[in-house]
Chains A and B, each alone.
Chain A
Amino acid sequence: MFERPSDQNHYQVLEISERASAEEIQSAYERAKEIYSCDSVVSSSILAPEERRQILERVTEAYHTLIAEESRRLYDRSLAEPAPSRNPENGSSPAAPATRVGYVAGTSPSSSPAQAYPRLVGLRPEKAGEAGEALEHVKIALGVKEEATGEFLRKAREASGVDLRAISHETKIGVTMLGYIEEERLDRLPVEVYLRNFVRQYAHCLGLEDERVARSYVARIRRLQSKGRDTT
């Protein structure tokens, strides 16, 4: 079985070997652009336009990272680094330098390998100073004490400066599904037992009170679904 698209590294995204030449990278990039373009017969029947757009973004990011020698060297080094191990006592990852926390939206995704391939270490609010403070602001601003919504999760994530791929990398939940959770896509969300687990993992990654957020979010979705049924 292959890696989930959200778990693929830049080489896997472009389907090239880690020894690929610049010509091979260029050629793979052109091919991927053709496959995922909006008028492509190959992908239009299997992927939604939004999915294709996201894939093209990843393809572009992979290309720009690998085509430049220096950024490729740094990226290769980041791939060679072992993934952070879990702390067996509390299940959380150990604290890490701030540079390893995911990149902030709006910055160049390939400006450093750690930014281009983020790992969500150090995001527990009690350990990750700035990110933690930002989260607290979001919690207060959104009044999470009453209800956890998809918008709250998104804003909490953005305040932490991580993208969905980083969350997906940690939780192994697909980017698309995470997007559905944020958008509260009632027609796409899984059954409650899975949804609760997904939201719990997502909230845990952001250093939130995962159980409470999951409970609140699921209750909200249940209520929205019930309302939807009543109106139809």
Chain B
Amino acid sequence: MPRRLIDRPLLGAAAGQLAESVAARPLAAVGQPREADATAPIHRSIVAVGGGKGGIGKSLITSSLGICLARRGRRVVLIDADLGGANLHTALGLAPPRVSLGDFINRRVSTIEDVIMETGVPNLGLISGAHDYLTAANLKYFQKTRLLNRIRDIQADFIFLDIGAGISFNIVDFFLLAEAGLLVVVPEPSSVENAYRFLKMSFYRHLWSAAKGNGARALIEQAMDEKNRDGIRTPFDLLDAVERLDERTGQSLKARAQTFRPRLIINQARYPEDERLGPSMASVCRKHLGIDIDCLASVQYEDVVWQAQRRKKPFMLVFPDSKAGQSLERAAVNLLSSSQKR
């Protein structure tokens, strides 16, 4: 049973029972001495891992990247934001924790730190979504806003959000909270299709949140409907339409568009053409959506991944030297390097 990481009294009767059942320890106290490179200053990073589709390895990748960074001495908190389909704890080889994100959302605990649990990996905390019967669809606006604000306040070097399938606003808003949005894709038509749809919706939502004036927002909302009758088929069409409506808003949204830079992770790559999928998708996104993305990693399909999951062991702890493990290690180093540059 994982333990809470933050030593903070829980509120309420239900919380009191929870507090008795778990030994609490501050996140900082559970860390081991940092590696030499870990002393380099970094900016706190929120990393969202999405993909628009279920069963593509988001939780495996989230847990693996988190483990890699934690082992490099960084304080990492993983949040299972896959409301309604949470299984990040399983990817970490843990039983479902008794406190979870739902306890914070429903105010059974007072702070989000109260639901950060120990994982057994030094420096690595988990906010589980297990046992939560909330779904992204029924998360109310004020609950989402409070949650997003509190996530920003968590004291850690890296905060990973493992977000669920779909393209609803609640899901996309988790993705947009992050400085680094990682889009997981497997080399299958349905995954690629969902990834594009997720990208477009995230991009439009990114613009919408910065758009001033009802006219521009209305056009963006039109664009979100792929069958709209205004002839807006691509972000290029949208930005041109906004510019025709109001040149200043159009220019401002074009500048905003350049701040949307998610990264791809191709998972379960079997063949050489699968290795090229990331750069090829990035090319299509640049040329036909006007979205600048790059490929962070291509993770090989390997039987050992399945073996680790079957044994309920964290893959990166059991098979770190496998090809897939090495790819994920390089991706983690890349993320670390990016956060040091910022």
Write the residues of chain A forming the contact surface with B, with a CB cutoff of 8 angstroms: 1-2, 4-5, 8, 15, 31-32, 34-35, 41-47, 172, 174, 176-177, 180, 188-191, 194-195, 197
Contact = CB atoms under 8 A, between A and B. Distances in A.
A62 to B, nearest CB: 12
Given A1-B290, A190-B231, A46 B189 contact: no
B277 A42 contact: yes
Interface residues of B, number: 34
Contact of B284 (A1, A4, A42): A42
Nearest to A195: B231
A34 B276 contact: yes
A31 B280 contact: yes
A15 B233 CA distance: 23
Interface string B223-238: 0000001111110110
Nearest to B241: A194
A45 B189 CA distance: 7
Contacts, number: 74
B273 A34 contact: yes
B275 interface: no
Interface of B: 187-189, 192-193, 196, 229-234, 236-237, 239-241, 244, 254, 257-258, 273, 276-277, 280-281, 283-284, 286-290, 292
- A-B interface, 9 closest residue pairs, ranked by CB to CB distance from nearest: A190-B231, A45-B193, A42-B280, A4-B236, A35-B280, A2-B290, A46-B196, A1-B254, A190-B230
Nearest to A177: B231
Contacts of A31: 276, 280, 283
A45 B289 CA distance: 13
A41 B236 contact: no
29 contacts: A1-B239, A1-B254, A1-B257, A1-B290, A4-B236, A5-B287, A5-B288, A8-B287, A15-B283, A15-B286, A34-B280, A35-B280, A35-B283, A35-B284, A41-B192, A41-B277, A42-B277, A42-B280, A42-B281, A45-B196, A47-B284, A47-B288, A174-B234, A189-B231, A190-B231, A190-B232, A194-B231, A194-B241, A195-B231
Nearest to B287: A5
A86 to B, nearest CB: 18
Given A1-B236, A41-B192, 10 more contacts: A34-B276, A41-B187, A42-B277, A46-B193, A46-B289, A174-B236, A174-B237, A190-B231, A191-B230, A194-B241
